[in-house]
Structures are given as C-alpha cells and as structure tokens.
Structure 1
Amino acid sequence: MSDGIRVFAGDCTVTTTGARENDLRGEVVVLLKPDNTVLVHDRDGYQPVAWLTRPESLVYDGTADGEFSLTAVDDGSRLEVTANDEYGLGRYPASRAGTPVGTCPDCDGVLTRANGAVTCLGCEARYGLPAAVEILDEDCSSCGLPTMRVERGRAFTLCIDRECQSLDAAVTAAFDRSWDCPDCDGSLRIVRNGTLLAGCENYPDCETAYSVPTGVVDGECDCGLPAFETGNGRRCLDATCERAG
C-alpha cells in the first residue's frame, strides 16, 4: 500500500490477460491508488480502458528519468503497463472523499464524513459513527468536535468521539434494568456484544437478549416489551414480535 496516489502520463503499452484480454498502445494516464487499484485512462469518457481492483500482488517501478513499468496480478488476471515515452510522473496526497462536517480542534483540518466515520483530512484522526446518526452543527463543549444526534430508545445528543461521550453509557443510564425479561424474573441489562443489546441479567441461565433498535420508545407492545417508533414504522424491542403495530 502506498501513502498517496501515483500518477503517470505517457505513451504506454498496456496488456491485459485473464478475464479481459487486450493489447493497447496510446497516450494515457495511469493511476495507482493507495489500495493498489490500477486505472488506465485514455482521452475519452470516464471509463478506464484497463483496470485491476486491489490486486493480490503489484510490482511498480517509476523513476524521475522516465522509466515506468507496472505489473498487477489478481486471481488469474494480469495487467502490465510499460512506458514507451514519459510525459509526467508524480505522487500526491489522497484521502477518502466525504461530506464536510466541521473543523478538527487539534489541527484545524477539515472533518469529512464517509463510510461510517468522520475523518480529519489534516491529521487523519478518525471517529467511527453508530448507524443512522445525524451530524449536528453544534460542537462538543468539552473537546470541540462535532456532535451527533442518535436514536437508541430516545434521542441523544453526543460527541462523535466515543472516548469523550459514550453512546453505550448514555443508553445504559437511560434504560438499564428498565424492562422486565419476558422469559424469567430478571431485568434486561444494557450490554455491548458486537451490537448494543438489552439482555437478561440472569445470563447464562436465561439467554434472552434483544438488539436495541434505532428509534425512540413509544409506549409498550402488546407482548409487554417496549415498542419503538423507527424510520420504518412502529416495532417491538423483539424484532420477531408482530404485535407492536
């Protein structure tokens, strides 16, 4: 993995074998991404004339005196690019593009949201986000990062940095032992086991557990468990129950 995008422009011979077989020559631009994805573009359109996504192996040779060659191999497919004449060669910083959501309090870099996280384009600090959150315009009063609105039983406004303000702690404070287990005399505890769960305190004797859904509590289901108002309608804490509607 490289630490930026490599760009080469020149008169190249491009050979592909395997699923796509072709021999090409032309004045092209070759992009080598940080995940080793290779794209070869000519002058027309947006579609590359040759490419290989995240190859298993890649051998790259690019020097300032115009020497350039690249061989990428993945699962029977092979892409070779050799320069006949070089017009330009460079390496440039690259990041995942995302929606700007604020300014990093540590380096004044731009914070962007993409692929379930907020990342700083400056210092590369990364903050993973829970599912179905809204980033707010208001900054955290403690650390200066953006805040988010997230619904897990009720609407919480929290810092995007879980080390600053924890969603798990907020849901636990609001709902731990608030609901009775329908299968024994225990109460449901808020626990983290991959996902946020309301699980019986008598575990392992009682294995009853429910994933806490995205939404806000809206009364009680006919089965006795809490009902939630979600983006897809009203539902029971028990996703298999059909009595909440």
Structure 2
Amino acid sequence: MIDDAIRVLAGDCTVIAEADDRQEYRGRVTTIVKPDNTVLVHDIDGYQPVAWLTRADSVSSDRRDGFTLVAKKDTQTLRIAAHEQDGFAHYPSSAAGTPVGTCPDCGSALIRSNDVHCVGCGDRYGVPADATIRDDQCDCDCGLPKMRVERGRAFNVCLDRNCESLDAAVKEAFDREWACPELDCDGDLQILRRGGLIAGCEHYPDCDTGFAVPAGVVDGECGCGLPTFETASGIRCLDATCERALEGTVTADSMADD
C-alpha cells in the first residue's frame, strides 16, 4: 500500500499565518499538504514557501465554498481560504530513494530509503542500515534482490526475511561459538534477537551477559577471549566496553603466519 496521499489545493487564496504575530497574504498559490501534516504554501517566486507549518497537530479542510484549510500546531495557526478555486486533488505518494530492483509482484521499481519498498504496490522490506543491495536475485522463486550484510562474516540473503532469514544464517554460523566471559559462568553465547542481534549467555536470566553483534567480520580474538570484529570504524571487541581490546589480540593474519 502506498504511504498516503499528498493533497494539492490551488487558487486565488488568502493566507493567514498566526504565531507570535499575524501575517496575511493573498495571491494565486498552491498549497501542498503532506502525509505527515506538513503544510506548504507556494507562490510563483523562488523555492521557499510563502507560508508553512511543519507536522501540524491537526489539519482540517472544507470544500463547500471553494475551499478552506486550517492547520494548527501548539500556538501556531495557518489558514488558507480560496476566493476562486483552480484545483483540489489527492495524489498517491511514497518515500523517494535509490532504485535497487524491480518488484516481482507488480513490475514497479523497488526503492531504498529507510527500508526497501515498491512504488507501485507498496510492498516493503526492512533492511539493516549497513546492508548493501545486490544485483543478483534470490535463489528461490520470489524474484527479489539479495542483500549483503556483515554480522561476523558477510552474508548474502534475500530481502524478504520470511524467504531467507539473516538471523538464522548468523545463528547457524556463530551460535555457541564463544564462551561466556563471566568467570563464574560455564555457559556459551547464543545468537538471539532482542531488539537487535545479540550474543547472549545461554544461562539467562541467571547470567545476563550479552553483547550486540556489530556490523563487521570476525578477524581475531581479543585479549579478553571474545572475538574481535573488523568494522567500518576500525577493529573492536565483541564487548564494546572491553578495556583489554587489542591487548594481546590474535588476528586472522597472525594465525595464518604461524
């Protein structure tokens, strides 16, 4: 489903903006009401609106005589009244983003913004912020692109988590691979989803040790015994607060040299 409609109202209008003061305009203007209740009033000059209200608490309109529109936010009020109506319409809208493929259901473009969504049917797929959308398609018959995500290693999985689960791939690779670092605990770290992916002790709640799995690939072992990850910001321990990070770290390259 498309996010919502953008409303467009055009005509010879009086525009009154009230906040700390009162400003009144008249002219042939076009008013745009976005799905988040942002109201923009444009005239012929420049790119900046002559009046606007960002994310209004309420927007109401009436079309009985031309049209009127009232938007309110806290102590601010924006009123638009048409003396002569040129147009009043609703247009489907969605977030704009980078094209990453074709929707297998309707043939429209798949766009990446905060997620990946279809501009036609509105199907959407949540993706991690660090994911890279690939050109190749999923191995099954869904027709969707794959994404590359680094969580301990690089995984190439389908956009649709119901088709191919990133969680399952990370769990298969790293579940119980690392021992809980608590001295009085003999548990292993399981791969779990608690908000995000974590490596958490199997003895929870008796042991509440847990670490968010970072975006990066395992490249060695920290001095504390946990793995280190090569990330976009550098090498770090699985435990982001580790004071022994990089002290006595064994890397994959040093192990290869041995």
Q: TM-score, normalised by structure 2?
A: 0.89
Deviation at 1:19, TM superposition (A): 4.6
Amino acid across the alignment from 1:104:
C
> How many Å separate the matches in 1 of 2:161 and 2:99?
20
2:40 matched to which residue of 1?
Answer: 39
Whether 1:123 aligns to 2:121 is: yes
Tell me the residue number matched to 1:108.
107
Deviations 1:189-219 (A, max 9, x none): 0111111110011111111100000000011
Question: Does the 8 A contact of 1:112 with 1:119 survive in 2?
Answer: yes
29-38 vs 223-232, greater mean Cα deviation: 29-38
Question: Paired residue for 1:141, among 139, 161, 169?
Answer: 139
Question: Which piece of structure 1 moves more, 155-164 or 18-27?
Answer: 18-27
Which residue does 1:210 correspond to in 2? 211
Say whether the 8 Å CA contact 1:137–1:147 is kept in structure 2: yes
Q: Contact (CA 8 Å) 2:148, 2:156: kept in 1 or not?
A: yes
> Residue 74 of structure 1: CA displacement?
1.1
Distance 1:62 1:153 in 2: 58
CA distance 1:148–1:93, change in 2 (3 Å): same
- Contact 2:4–2:94 (Cα < 8 Å) also in 1: no
Could you list the structure 1 runs, at least 4 aligned residues long, displaced by more than 6 angstroms after superposition. Answer: none
Does the CA contact (< 8 Å) of 1:58 and 1:72 recur in 2?
yes
Q: Who is 2:27 aligned against?
A: 26
* Matched pairs, number: 241
Q: Say which SS state the counterpart of residue 93 (structure 2) adopts.
A: coil
Taking the TM superposition and a 5 Å limit, the aligned residue runs for 1:79-228 are: 79-115=78-114, 117-142=115-140, 143-183=142-182, 184-228=185-229
Q: Residue 93 of structure 1 aligns to a residue in which SS?
A: strand
**Structure 2: how far apart are the matches of 1:192 and 1:37?**
36
**Could you list the runs of 5+ residues in structure 1 that have no partner in the other structure?**
none
The alignment partner of 1:58 has SS state of: strand
Please list every run of 5 or more consecutive structure 2 residues that lacks an aligned counterpart in the other structure: 247-258
> Quick check: 10-19 or 96-105, which moved more?
10-19
8 A contact 1:235–1:242 mirrored in 2: no
Report if the CA contact (8 A) 1:103-1:110 is conserved.
yes
